[in-house]
Structure 1
Amino acid sequence: MEEAPAEKKLVGKITHYFTKIGVGVIELSDELKVGDKISIEGATTNVQQTVQSMQIEHKDVQTAKAGDAIGMKVDQRAREGDLVYKLA
């Protein structure tokens, strides 16, 4: 039996990606917390991962809200303009 696809909700978009350190900058349009499962999707990107940690202005945070720009380790390459969804 196949698993039903998880519901997803748009929470932000990648505005920058630092290739050497594997960190994406995500401009949030909704709340995101450490432990949330996310999907990063774009023309050539399809990454699912759990938020292990995130930073605002180089300080670790547990929760970020709409309007925040966060830095987060991304398991695979992401690209500017990729959309970030929270999976339910």
Structure 2
Amino acid sequence: MKKKKIKKAVRKPVKKSAPKSKKKIAKKTLSIPKGASLEEVGVITHYFPKVDAAVVKLTKGALSIGDRIVIKGHTSDFKEKVGSIQLDHLPIQNAEKGMEIGLKVKSKVREHDVVYKIIS
């Protein structure tokens, strides 16, 4: 009985690439109009990514459609105009302190992000 010769697998050296350097991105600063101030109105309690909506617990102020707001948090910092407010799946025009409302947002937000109203 003849013995079969077994070929050893030849490993080719793997060329390692140099680590890519990360570019530093300057963080955008949020600009609000001159003479305007921010008034805290509430806190985000939940976010629905499929419909880009957030649940906001109004703790210190009121909101109306057309108000300009700023949402600030650990990873979010943007401003937008309030276009849609809902309470129990029904659209409303104004929301008072103590209400828990649904708010359409343009960007991802997280729980505990703070909602401010821009006062001109």
- Quick check: which one's strand share is greater? 1
* Aligned residue-pair number: 86
User: Structure 1: where are the runs of 5+ without partners?
Assistant: none
Tell me the TM-score normalised to structure 2 length: 0.69
How many percent identity over aligned positions? Answer: 41
Provide the rounded CA distance (Å) in 1 between the counterparts of 2:35 and 2:42: 20
Provide the rounded CA distance (Å) in 1 between the counterparts of 2:36 and 2:44: 21
Change (3 A) 1:54 1:45: same
* 1:47-62 pair list within 5 angstroms: 47-62=78-93
Larger Rg: 2
Provide the rounded CA distance (Å) in 2 between the counterparts of 1:65 and 1:72: 14
| Cα RMSD for the two superposed structures | 1.1
Match of 1:27 in 2: 57
**Deviation above 6 Å: which 4+ runs of structure 1?**
none
User: Structure 2: where are the runs of 5+ without partners?
Assistant: 1-32
Deviations along 1:12-47, one digit per CA (max 9) or x if unpaired, are 000000111100000002111001000000011012
Match of 1:38 in 2: 69
